[in-house]
Structure 1
């Protein structure tokens, strides 16, 4: 089939004419068309399928099934017959070619510079990733590989393809072993990279335009490198420029000073947050003292929109202030009721027993110790009613 397929004869072919060999419907209901020849690349070798049109019918997927290329279309395949005109979604196709060729170049750069082979490759809709068989990569190594890859692009070396047999493999210094048998397709960047590959690439490295590494992460003992090529570099730059400009505008500083200004802002925020926490603690302490000043042995109070954490702190402050009292606190938060019950060191009543008695009133759940419990449930009674039930449970 290698001599018949347009996408192998001319990777830059955007439109073609072919005849329909047959049509069919998959068990999942998808309609497909098989052509006498095609420029549509089927999913394979890490490269996604092409999309486009056959006459005015959209091609939404392309797969190789057994020895035929199936073009999955929108609508009824029987509407197509005879000779058809195929047209690729060239923006998608060329983007995939740029990313795939860029992967070859960057992978070869890591091998050339650091003897670090790529063990897997993924061409995503936004980024490309390669997993490199090393424990770590320094920023200096990443920069060197990126610079070498872009130098190869700038040299505009040809990207050649060649079909060979297994017996001829020994004549080429391949980057990695070839997994396929029979006719083998090599993708060659002279004096730089020789690799078995069934994917589609531009005809020269210059068409890749540029490569930019975006980041790395550890992945199953390897290092995953994320990057973009060609038009995606410009898209990534535009996105980052927009974000940087917005951040700089909000900080009222030039873009070049945005990182420094943001670091200062975050440092100030952390200091402010610490001061705010301390202030809240002090306010809770004052509130606890005011509540504990009562002569009554039970402090029962309800609130609106107080978190369970605040209720717990307030209860601790109250019983620390007065070891002879019980603190019962309830808060209504949106559609739920929450409560905390705590006893002072001199009180013998069980807070766990109290919780067991009142939780059914709100279809709630809770937990804690004999000294302090917390719980929450549905707001099916008023908070004052829950508070009254808690007081009654003590008596």
Structure 2
């Protein structure tokens, strides 16, 4: 493994090699080369992409002792001596993020003794899980500051192959998981770690590191961050969003947060006032429907009224008289919904009524003897469902 091009020179963008063999793996054609600069998925770092003789390489995996280059084309198009070319933008991005992860992880260890228990390099954000159940904004800021200090110092990023017996000579921040071909990635006087990934020759090429946020993950804290070009990409995206918000609020960008809070406060006030007004209207509607009741039963169909509205209206109706029964059905497009409610002196079971009519609409529902609700498919008209409900009281 020491002689693989991506280990010998991580900045190699193009190379020549011989085709050793070709094959098909689950309908995916692949090529094995005598040597390669294409990094296979492993150690938290995604695979490289690129081209072999202008044939796209879409995936790279290490299978046993083979590094398989899965191509988007027939294997007979690549034979003999071939020319490999990396998608360098993708590779360099992965190198920046992976090296940044080493730096940030070491910063958390140095400052707070928070070890990294897992690492994921995503297409937009990078995450590390720290073995702590709490972290402060101040700790995040200090770790970010320390990481960027190491980046700006442009320290060399060294790699070294050692044996198991030589491990004790290095202050590793965690135990290595392999017995042979142990590869160390070293940032002198800062971080010593066993790693099989690719990294830039110096920390300065990471450019910058920015922590984007955190979340609780079981007993750990997950830290989201970005490095290099991704910092600029995130800044550009956030600048566009902030500019759009600022423009819509008609305020300078620096006052957008305050203006947005005011808008949200006003919206909540309006929503509260609207809810109160709707409740008043429902009370008026309930009285009108009660006055039209027949034999103590209010039976009405509606179109496009939510089950929540039916619930409020039904409770308002039965609150007007202890003997009244409210049967309300709504035709809501491709489904029917209903409620059945009774006054406090009524003895008829609304739950029994619900259980009796639910099979008619292949529906589901629940409730109690005093109040039940349900809904299902529109297998009959709303008026027909209402008639079936009324028959329960004949």
User: What range describes the TM-score normalised by the shorter chain of this pair?
Assistant: over 0.9
Deviation at 1:75, TM superposition (A): 2.0
CA contact (8 A) 1:335 1:379 kept: yes
Counterpart-to-counterpart distance in 2, 1:392 and 1:156: 84
The alpha carbon displacement at 1:377 in A equals: 2.6
Using the TM superposition, give the Cα deviation of residue 163 of structure 1 relative to its aligned residue in structure 2, in angstroms. Answer: 1.6
CA-to-aligned-CA distance 1:150-200 (integer Å, 9 cap, x gap)? 011111111111122222222222222222223321111112111111111
1:127 positional shift: 1.0
Counterpart of 2:65 (choices 64, 67, 75) is 67
Decide which moves more: 277-286 or 71-80: 71-80
Query: 1:270-349 residue pairs with structure 2 within 5 A?
Result: 270-294=268-292, 296=294, 297-349=296-348
Q: Distance in 1 between the 2:142 and 2:248 partners?
A: 35
Q: Is the 8 A contact 1:358 1:393 kept in 2?
A: no
SS in 2 for 1:62: strand
Unaligned runs of 5+ residues in structure 2 are none
Cα distance in 1 between the residues matched to 2:281 and 2:34: 81
Report 1:97-246 matches (<5 A): 97-246=95-244
Deviation at 1:368, TM superposition (A): 2.7
Q: What number of residue pairs does the alignment pair up?
A: 393
Q: TM-score, normalised by structure 2?
A: 0.95
Q: CA RMSD in A?
A: 1.7
CA contact (8 A) 2:49 2:86 kept: yes
Contact 1:337–1:379 (8 Å) recurs in 2: yes
Aligned to 1:383: 382
Unaligned runs of 5+ in 1: none
TM-score normalised according to structure 1 size:
0.94
The equivalent residue for 1:12 is: 11
CA distance in 2, matches of 1:353, 1:223: 50
| Cα distance, 1:356 vs structure 2 | 4.2
Over 3 Å counting, the alpha-carbon distance change for 1:43 and 1:366 in structure 2 is closer
- Cα offset, 1:130, TM superposition: 1.0
User: C-alpha distance in 2, partners of 1:357/1:136?
Assistant: 53
Q: 2-side partners of 1:251 and 1:123: how far apart? A: 36
Q: 1:12 to 1:319 in 2, by over 3 A?
A: same
